[in-house]
Structure 1
Amino acid sequence: MKQLIQNLKTGETLLQDVPAPQVRRGQVLIQTRRSLVSLGTERMLVEFGKANLIAKARQQPDKVKQVLEKIQSDGLMPTLEAVFRKLDQPLPLGYCNVGTVLAVGEGVTDLRIGDRVASNGPHAEVVCVPRNLVAPIPDGVSDDEAAFTVIGAIGLQGIRLLNPTLGETIVVVGLGLIGLLTAELLRLNGCRVIGLDVDETKLQLANQRGIIALNPAAGTDPVKAVLSLTNDVGADGVVITASAKTDELMSQAARMSRKRGRIILVGVVGLNLSRAEFYEKELQFQVSCSYGPGRYDDQYEQQGQDYPLPFVRWTENRNFQTILQLLAGGQLDVKPFVTEVVPFADYNAIYGQMGQANPSGGPSIASLMTYPEAVELSSTVVLREAQYGGGTGTVGLIGAGNFTGATLLPALKAAGANLKTIASAGGLNATLLANKHGVAESTTDYRQIISDPAIDLCVITTRHNSHARMVVEALRAGKHVFVEKPLAIYDEELSAIIDAQQASGRTVMVGFNRRFSPHAQKMKALLGGERSDEVPMNIVATMNAGFIPANSWVHDRAVGGGRILGEACHFVDLITFLTGSRVVCVCMNAMGRQPSETSDSASLLLRYENGSTGVINYFANGSKAYAKERVEVYSQERTLVLDNFRKLTGYGFRGFSSLSGRQDKGHAEQMKQLIQRLRTPADSQPLIPFAEIMNTTQTTLGALHSQREGRWIDVHTIGQLQTQAVVAEAV
């Protein structure tokens, strides 16, 4: 199947062959019939992509600040590489989709195969969309009309926030497609509508629909005109649907409003507000968020937890339904807004001329794309022909997120890995990464990797709640496994992994990369190498992790497991490596009067078998300008200080004072050694003993038990494991 994408680095818009998505729980698989091009939003993406680097920076000053902070903490080259990687990630285009249901996921009971539906799916021949972002299309509403559902809901949500009453005068600033739809919906609501735009064609279209249309570019002063039309009272409300870089539209909106008027921002404008203009009139101002309540709420959109109607009357899905009802009843007529209809394959007829006149001579208002009736629904796309055989160290990757593309794939490629297949749920990310890094295939069905006899190693980098399940599946299929941390987020998952590993005898490796950093290796050598376990030491590790919003999946106990499980585990493993010993008990204290298991500002106390102690301070409330990671080791009247894996300083060591270099957290070295071991005889020693991997996972799980129970936890009790059972299969 094909999907339309936008390259933010070059501005190029192109069709990409991608594997068809797999229907998932709570989601709907849809074959597209129509999609509407949101000319305003998508034109901004195209123009941003075509801009040079300096122009891109000027458009996003907040991102520039983040870049400067990252340079200060991580160094120039790692920061520049991260910036260019971000720009090199094409984006899917489109969010106004109409199609036919091909399949429904588990838990979806109110839709059937063959139903016509509207959704916020992208421009692609087949899309997979969460149920709460899908609305059935009533009989009598054409595909062309239904394509306006989502963009109509954007205007409708602005009106919901404005809360207009019958007879009020409302000004709509900007008569693009959203502005015209907003004005029409306001008129249906019994309002007197004044529309402002600089394009005469749009103004004529508005006039034909009973809207008072004014052109500021023709010499009309918009503020004086609105005041004159309202007997110097001012508008009851202003809805801004335009896009502008200056603050002038906000200033005009304030000056044309009546005392205690309301201003709603649907578009994108400068927001340096004049306090005097808002203060004197006690104006209300609110920014409208997309389609309505539920937008960007993972629990609503991805997990399907609807808001109860008596308390949240208008969610984004109910806004979709409202637009469709208005279309079905004939109150909302969108046919005059359609200026061009082109086949999906001819997308460049729209994107190549974006912002220019349409073939009829006027500006494009709404462009529709039609899709072929027959679509190939293959879950795998072969991007290049290559021969692979089992036992040659062939690798399959499950997961195609930022970390995979930025770190793991380059490290695997540098290590000379035979990269055969990469899987992602949607297919696009996997295909883009496969093209970039020379991977032969992309797929949306991860089980094809697990069942492929040519693949020896499964690399798993999906969300945390899927790690344990996929590890067990891969081990049972006879694969070696590398899984990004955490290995498991629940005790019983850890037990299942141990059973599967013991039964298969295959290698399980976790992304505990810090021990492979040249700085960590130097620390180990200075502390006595393999004999470092003979003398107890004190180690303090601090992670200035940075803030992540509370609604992120990472904080969800059932999905991400929390940042202690997902990130602090790095330093449990590092301290284990440096001490040459394993944790026997752990105690965690988190910040807050009633901290939860997933608190991300906490201190862990570790007690080791050889008498060493570790303290891990994992803090999310520090400055981004400060280094992210710092490790201090105290032993035999000597001290080592590692600063952000860029500089190691020694105190009291004969012949050593410091080691500096580019930030290196060990990812590349771990992948290099992993691929080397994969190609060597089976009796080679593991990179990290399985007993240590289990012990680290037990420790972080034990830390959550400690927080919940308020006591020290013996880590060997986690997952009902016995110490001797772990030791028995340590290699």
Structure 2
Amino acid sequence: MSAGLRKFVRFIAIYGLGRSLFKAAGRLRIGLPTFALRRPAPDIGLIGCGQFAFATIGYFIHSTFGSRILACYDVDPRAQQSLARAQRVRSTPASINELLTDPRLRTIYIASNHASHADYAVLALQAGLQVYVEKPIAVTEEQLVRLLRACRGAEGRIFAGYNRPFSSAVRHLRSVMPVDSNGGFTLSCFISGHQLGAEHWYRRPEEGTRICGNVGHWLDLMVHVLSWRGMPDRMDVSLSWADADEPDDNVSITITSDRGDLFTVTLTSRCEPFEGINETINLQHGETIAKIDDFRHLTIWRGSHVQRKRFWPKDVGHRLAILQPFQRQAARAWEEVVLSTLLMLRITDMVRARERLATFSFSEARARIQRQIEAAK
């Protein structure tokens, strides 16, 4: 059996047949039939036509609504045309302005390169559309200020693509775990990530390093978990890396807070994981100990009681995250995303400056951003 066929068979066991077929179709750029019960009129626009847009956003939209994507745009015409052909997208506008002025559109999904997310989101909000923007929502503080300024008074709502809080494991843990308002959280995330060559677009200086591209997911998860109890303010941040020439790879981040929290995230990529990114997440709070094994299994211990749950297909939270614009009661609190972005940007600066120790304050960072927003009125 070839490696490709072996991976496809393995993916079926992990993700189910439908999602695995979409992943394969995304690599081959071929279409697949969809059988959705609901078929609303096409009113979704897609910016960015790469693998994630095809195999993840495309899959969950098509499996829920059928061919609801009206138009797609990409700076690479080949990616744009191949996605449009495969997913029966009716319109392939030649410019972002042509896309955003289509009166039939109601919702825009942004899945382009990271440095372009905020700019596209600002334009879409100014066009009166509701906006789903993939992570990160910004790769610089200046971008974040412009995005938050555009959010004020916008007709449409904005949703972020940080999906781990939407996973079945995290949602179930939240539903059953008693929260001690005075107790600290210990949260540890170990991630075996993809190997990225020197030529990979994540490596471009303007794209925000792997901190924005990858680690932001687990910083956001930390903020979400801490919000269950109430957010701390001040944090001490410590960074360690294996290679000073690539301080955003094979890196470990330790964060302690003024409320007794301890958070660690280790991202390593010493080999390419055959089944894709693999995550182990451990949490301890009060009398609760929990372990999430690659979002396929969850074990919760509380005293002598133990609970085990299995999730199949593997659920990293993409479905509920992507459907936020249409299931608003399940949408994330936007302020959580803003706070996790501020912390992510500070750690990105640390990596770029090879700075190993820093202190961070949510209130001070939020106030600084707010002053910049107000100054631009």
Say if 2:71 and 2:90, in contact at 8 Å, map to a contact too.
yes
Instruction: Supply the AA of the counterpart residue of 2:84.
Output: A
Q: Structure 1 pair 522/508, CA: closer, same or farther in 2 (3 Å)?
A: same
- TM-score of the superposed pair, with normalisation by structure 1: 0.44
Q: Structure 1 pair 695/609, CA: closer, same or farther in 2 (3 Å)?
A: farther
Say if 2:107 and 2:132, in contact at 8 Å, map to a contact too.
yes
Q: Structure 1 pair 413/67, CA: closer, same or farther in 2 (3 Å)?
A: closer
User: Match of 1:671?
Assistant: 322
User: Match of 2:251?
Assistant: 602
Q: Deviations over 1:66-99 (max 9, x none)?
A: 667x6599567588436632564159xxxxxxxx
Q: Does 1:536 align with 2:184?
A: yes
Say if 1:476 and 1:500, in contact at 8 Å, map to a contact too.
yes
User: Match of 1:394?
Assistant: 43
Instruction: Supply the AA of the counterpart residue of 2:137.
Output: L
User: Match of 2:348?
Assistant: 704
User: Match of 1:553?
Assistant: 201
Say if 2:236 and 2:255, in contact at 8 Å, map to a contact too.
yes
Q: Secondary structure at the match of 2:280?
A: strand
Instruction: Supply the AA of the counterpart residue of 1:406.
Output: A
Q: Deviations over 1:469-506 (max 9, x none)?
A: 11111122222211111111112111111111124264
Q: Structure 1 pair 704/432, CA: closer, same or farther in 2 (3 Å)?
A: closer
Q: Structure 1 pair 676/439, CA: closer, same or farther in 2 (3 Å)?
A: farther
Q: Secondary structure at the match of 1:504?
A: coil
Q: Structure 1 pair 691/79, CA: closer, same or farther in 2 (3 Å)?
A: closer
Which of 214, 220, 234 is residue 567 of structure 1 equivalent to?
Answer: 214
Q: Structure 1 pair 716/661, CA: closer, same or farther in 2 (3 Å)?
A: closer
User: Match of 1:693?
Assistant: 337
Q: Deviations over 1:113-150 (max 9, x none)?
A: xxxxxxxxxxxxxxxxxxxxxxxxxxxxxxxxxxxxxx
User: Match of 2:52?
Assistant: 403
Say if 2:187 and 2:222, in contact at 8 Å, map to a contact too.
yes
Deviation at 1:587? 2.1
Say if 2:122 and 2:150, in contact at 8 Å, map to a contact too.
yes
Q: Which runs of 4+ in 1 moved over 6 A?
A: none
Q: Does 1:587 align with 2:233?
A: no
Say if 1:583 and 1:695, in contact at 8 Å, map to a contact too.
no
User: Match of 2:360?
Assistant: 714
Instruction: Supply the AA of the counterpart residue of 1:619.
Output: T
Q: Deviations over 1:228-272 (max 9, x none)?
A: xxxxxxxxxxxxxxxxxxxxxxxxxxxxxxxxxxxxxxxxxxxxx
- Distance, in Å, in 1 between the alignment partners of 2:147 and 2:285 is 36
Q: Deviations over 1:312-357 (max 9, x none)?
A: xxxxxxxxxxxxxxxxxxxxxxxxxxxxxxxxxxxxxxxxxxxxxx
- Distance, in Å, in 1 between the alignment partners of 2:121 and 2:316 is 24
User: Match of 1:636?
Assistant: 286
- Distance, in Å, in 2 between the alignment partners of 1:415 and 1:505 is 25
- Distance, in Å, in 2 between the alignment partners of 1:90 and 1:412 is 17
Q: Structure 1 pair 85/499, CA: closer, same or farther in 2 (3 Å)?
A: same
- Distance, in Å, in 2 between the alignment partners of 1:77 and 1:413 is 15
Which of 636, 639, 659 is residue 309 of structure 2 equivalent to?
Answer: 659
User: Match of 2:263?
Assistant: 614
Deviation at 1:453? 3.1
- TM-score of the superposed pair, with normalisation by structure 2: 0.82
Q: Secondary structure at the match of 2:289?
A: strand
Q: Structure 1 pair 657/554, CA: closer, same or farther in 2 (3 Å)?
A: same
- Distance, in Å, in 2 between the alignment partners of 1:674 and 1:510 is 10
Alignment of 1:111-510 (within 5 A): 394-416=43-65, 418-504=68-154, 506-510=156-160
More deviation in 440-449 or 647-656?
647-656
- Distance, in Å, in 2 between the alignment partners of 1:405 and 1:533 is 42
More deviation in 709-718 or 687-696?
709-718
Say if 2:239 and 2:357, in contact at 8 Å, map to a contact too.
no
Deviation at 1:588? 4.4
Deviation at 1:617? 1.1
- Distance, in Å, in 1 between the alignment partners of 2:11 and 2:236 is 35
Q: Secondary structure at the match of 1:629?
A: strand
Say if 1:591 and 1:602, in contact at 8 Å, map to a contact too.
yes
Deviation at 1:595? 4.3
Q: Does 1:84 align with 2:24?
A: yes
- Distance, in Å, in 2 between the alignment partners of 1:532 and 1:454 is 48
Say if 1:583 and 1:607, in contact at 8 Å, map to a contact too.
no
Q: Structure 1 pair 695/586, CA: closer, same or farther in 2 (3 Å)?
A: farther
Deviation at 1:454? 2.8
- Distance, in Å, in 2 between the alignment partners of 1:532 and 1:451 is 49
Q: Secondary structure at the match of 2:194?
A: coil
- Distance, in Å, in 2 between the alignment partners of 1:505 and 1:533 is 36
Q: Secondary structure at the match of 1:478?
A: coil
Deviation at 1:625? 5.5
Count of residues paired in the alignment: 358
Q: Secondary structure at the match of 1:441?
A: coil
Deviation at 1:394? 2.9
- Distance, in Å, in 2 between the alignment partners of 1:614 and 1:480 is 34
Q: Deviations over 1:157-182 (max 9, x none)?
A: xxxxxxxxxxxxxxxxxxxxxxxxxx
Say if 2:111 and 2:134, in contact at 8 Å, map to a contact too.
yes
Larger radius of gyration: 1
Q: Secondary structure at the match of 2:92?
A: strand
Gaps of 5+ in 2: 32-38
Q: Structure 1 pair 587/480, CA: closer, same or farther in 2 (3 Å)?
A: same
Q: Which structure carries more helix by proportion?
A: 2
Deviation at 1:646? 0.4
Deviation at 1:725? 4.3
Q: Secondary structure at the match of 2:65?
A: coil
Instruction: Supply the AA of the counterpart residue of 2:332.
Output: I
User: Match of 1:253?
Assistant: none
Say if 2:19 and 2:55, in contact at 8 Å, map to a contact too.
no
Deviation at 1:665? 0.9
Q: Structure 1 pair 78/421, CA: closer, same or farther in 2 (3 Å)?
A: closer
- Distance, in Å, in 2 between the alignment partners of 1:397 and 1:410 is 13
Say if 1:532 and 1:579, in contact at 8 Å, map to a contact too.
no
Q: Structure 1 pair 613/508, CA: closer, same or farther in 2 (3 Å)?
A: farther
Say if 1:398 and 1:459, in contact at 8 Å, map to a contact too.
yes
- Distance, in Å, in 2 between the alignment partners of 1:492 and 1:586 is 24
Say if 1:562 and 1:600, in contact at 8 Å, map to a contact too.
no
Say if 2:180 and 2:286, in contact at 8 Å, map to a contact too.
no
Instruction: Supply the AA of the counterpart residue of 1:676.
Output: Q
- Distance, in Å, in 2 between the alignment partners of 1:493 and 1:572 is 19
Q: Deviations over 1:425-458 (max 9, x none)?
A: 2334334433443433222322222222332221
Q: Secondary structure at the match of 1:633?
A: strand
- Distance, in Å, in 1 between the alignment partners of 2:40 and 2:317 is 30
Q: Structure 1 pair 461/593, CA: closer, same or farther in 2 (3 Å)?
A: closer
Say if 1:536 and 1:612, in contact at 8 Å, map to a contact too.
yes
Say if 1:396 and 1:422, in contact at 8 Å, map to a contact too.
yes
